[in-house]
Structure 1
Amino acid sequence: MKYKLLLLDIDGTLRPDSCERIPRENAEAVNAVQRLGVKIAIATGRGRAGVGKGLLRSVRPDYWVCSGGGQLLDGKGNELALHRLTNEEMYALVDFFEDYELPLRFTFHDANYAYIGYEEFVRREKAKNLHNHIVDGEDQDHHLVEMPFGAFGFVPRERAAQFQEKYGYLGLQFLYSYPGSDGCDITQADVDKGRGLCEMAGVAGLTPEECVAVGDGDNDVPMLAAAGLGIAMANGSEAAKAAADRIGPDAGPHGVADLCRELWPEAF
C-alpha cells in the first residue's frame, strides 16, 4: 500500500458547500479506508473547537491539522504541536481591522472569538452552513486567558496588501479560500497546512511522500504541494489545481467517496 495517510480538508472538499454535514457516503468511504490501515487526518482552517459534533458523522480521525496548521492533535485530542500568535502579531491585526471595520476572529481552545464584526460572522456562517462555534468576543479580552493559535478575517485583497505595507515585517500570511473571496486564514510565516502535513507525517512515522492530501482552496496549496499525491477537487480554486498532482471530482455529491474507491479499491 503506497499511501498510508490521507489528509482531508473539510469545507468544499469533505463537506460540499450545500451540505450542513459531510455526506454519509463520504463518511462511510473514509471509514472503510481507515479500516484498511490508512491513517486519516482532518486538515482544516477551523480550530478543533470549530468542528461541531455531528459535522463529520461517523468519521473518527487519527489526527487533526487545525487552524491552518496552527494546532495539531491526535485522535484523542492530545495536542502534538501548537503555534500561537505573538502579542505583536495579534495587536497589529486588531488595530488594522478596527481601522477599516473589518470582521476578525481568533481561534482559542474553547471557541472562535469574534473580536470585530460578530454579527457579520453569524450571517455568513448561516449562509454557508458552517456552524463554526463563533462567540462574541467584542470585549477583546480572551487573549488574556491564552494567546490564540489562529486567525480568520474578511478583508479585501487590496486591504491585505495595505496591511503588508505597514506590518510586513511580521511575516503574517493571508491565505484566501478562493479567488474573489474576501475570507482568509491568517497565519504566521512558517505555519500552514503544508507544514502541518510534514509534522503529522513525522508523528505517524511516515514521510510526506506516503501521504495523500485532498483540498479545494488557496489555503490548501502548501498541503497539496507537500504531499506525495496532492488532489484538488474539480470545484477548487485555480491555485489549488495548479499545486496539485491531479484534479479530482467535484466535492458534491460525494466526491471524496469516489476518490477513496479509486485509490484504495481493496477497502471496498
Structure 2
Amino acid sequence: MGIKLVAFDLDGTILDYTNRPSQRALETIQTLIDRGVHVASISGRSISKSQLPFETHASFAPTLLVGGYNGAVALDRARNGKRRVLHQQRMPEAVYLQVVDLLAEWKMNFIYCHLDVDDEGLHVEDYVTLERDQTVEDMTVQTGTQFVIEPDMVDRLRAGAFPVPPKLLILPGPDRREEVLEDLKAQFGNELYLERTDKDRIETMHPDVDKARALSAIAEACGVSVSETLAVGDGSNDLSMLAAAGKGVLLANADQPTREAAAERDVFLGDSFADEGFSSAVAEVFEG
C-alpha cells in the first residue's frame, strides 16, 4: 500500500496525560517527514491546543497539517507563518442561537469557542464563558486552558458580536448531565451533534462534523487520495477517519464498545498507547 499521508489523533494516541508525546513518536513523525510523507493531527482539541505539544519541535512543527474540533476545522501546513483554511464547518446559526437562548433560560453556564480564522491565518481563538464555575476551574487546572470571562456573553452572542462557533461546550455538571443531554436531543434531534465529554460536559457541533471530512480535505490539499492515507486513533470519535482511510488502526487502549464498532468497520486493532501503538502502526506499513 502506497501511504502518502499519515493522520493521528492526539490525546491517548500520541500524547500522554501530561500533554507530551513520547520520544519514539516524535522520531516517527520526523522520519515520515524526512521521507516526504505528509503528516497531520486530527483531534477534538482547538487549533492552538493541537499545536501546543509540538511548539518546541521547530524542525517539523510548521509542516504538520492540523484538524481541530473533531474535524470541524482543518488548516494547511504553515507557509510564511500562516496556515490557510482547508475545511470549516461551524454550527448551524439559527440552531446555535436557539441553544444559547435555552441555556440562558436554564441559567446554565457554557463555553463559547471563539474562532476567527481565514487564509491569512488564525487571528483569535479563545474560550469564552459566563463565569468561573467548578468545571472551568477543573479545565484550567487539568489542561492549562485560559478562559475569557464575559458575564454579558449571551447578549453579545444574540447581537452578533461574535462569529458562529465551531463548537459550544455545555456545563451542566455531573449530576444533571444526562437529563440535560436528553432534553437537548429531544429538542434538536438531528439538527446538532450532541455528545458527552469528560465527566460533566456536553459538546455540540454541526451534525455533519466528523474527522473523516477533515481527513478528506487534508488529503486533497496534499494531492493524495484518501485511499493513500494511514489514520491512527484511540476513541469513538476517531472511527469515521479510521474507516475512511486506506488503512485505519485503532489502538488497543480504546474502550470495548469502540473496539467492537471498529471491528464492524474493517478497522485494524493495533498496540496500545503504552506500547507505542502509533509508531508500531507506522512501522508495520512502511517497514513491513
- TM-score past 0.5 threshold: yes
Identity of aligned residues (%): 23
1:43-83 Cα distance to aligned partner (Å, 9 max, x none): 01122133354456425243211112221110111112222
Higher relative contact order (CA 8 A, sep 6+): 1
Counterpart Cα distance in 2 of 1:24 and 1:139: 45
Structure 2 CA distance for aligned equivalents of residues 119 and 55 of structure 1 = 30
Structure 1 position 42 matched with structure 2 position 49:
no
Question: 1:188: how far off?
Answer: 0.8
Which of structures 1 and 2 has the bigger CA Rg?
2
Structure 2 residue aligned with 1:131: 144
Asked if residue 233 in structure 1 is aligned to residue 227 in structure 2, the reply is no
Q: Which structure 1 residue ranges, 5 or more long, are not aligned?
A: none
Return the alpha-carbon distance in structure 2 between the equivalents of residues 49 and 138 of structure 1.
24
Q: 1:145 to 1:259 in 2, by over 3 A?
A: same
- CA RMSD between the two structures: 2.8
Partner residue in 1 for 2:168:
151
Partner in structure 2 of residue 8 of structure 1: 8
In the aligned structure 2, how far is the partner of 1:247 from the partner of 1:107?
A: 36
Amino acid at match of 2:111: L
Gaps of 5+ in 2: 117-123
| Aligned: 1:200 with 2:218 | yes
The one-letter code sitting in structure 1 at the alignment partner of 2:204 is I
Q: Which residue of 1 aligns with 2:193?
A: 173
Q: Which residue of 2 aligns with 1:222?
A: 240
Distance 2:107 2:13 in 1: 32
Q: 2:66 aligns with which of 64, 67, 84?
A: 64
The code of the aligned residue for 1:263 comes to: V
The answer to whether structure 1 residue 89 and structure 2 residue 95 are counterparts is: yes
Q: Which amino acid aligns with 1:203?
A: A
* CA positional deviation for 1:242: 3.3
Give the aligned partner of residue 112 of structure 2.
105
- What is the total number of aligned residue pairs between the two structures? 261
Structure 1, 106-115 or 61-70: larger mean CA deviation: 106-115
1:256 and 2:262 matched: no
Shift of 1:220: 1.6
For residues 35 and 209 of structure 1, the distance between their equivalents in structure 2, rounded to whole angstroms, comes to: 21
Shifted more, 98-107 versus 72-81: the winner is 98-107
Q: Which amino acid aligns with 2:108?
A: E
C-alpha displacement at 1:127, in angstroms? 5.4
User: Is residue 166 of structure 2 the alignment partner of residue 164 of structure 1?
Assistant: no
User: Does 86-95 or 119-128 show the bigger shift?
Assistant: 119-128
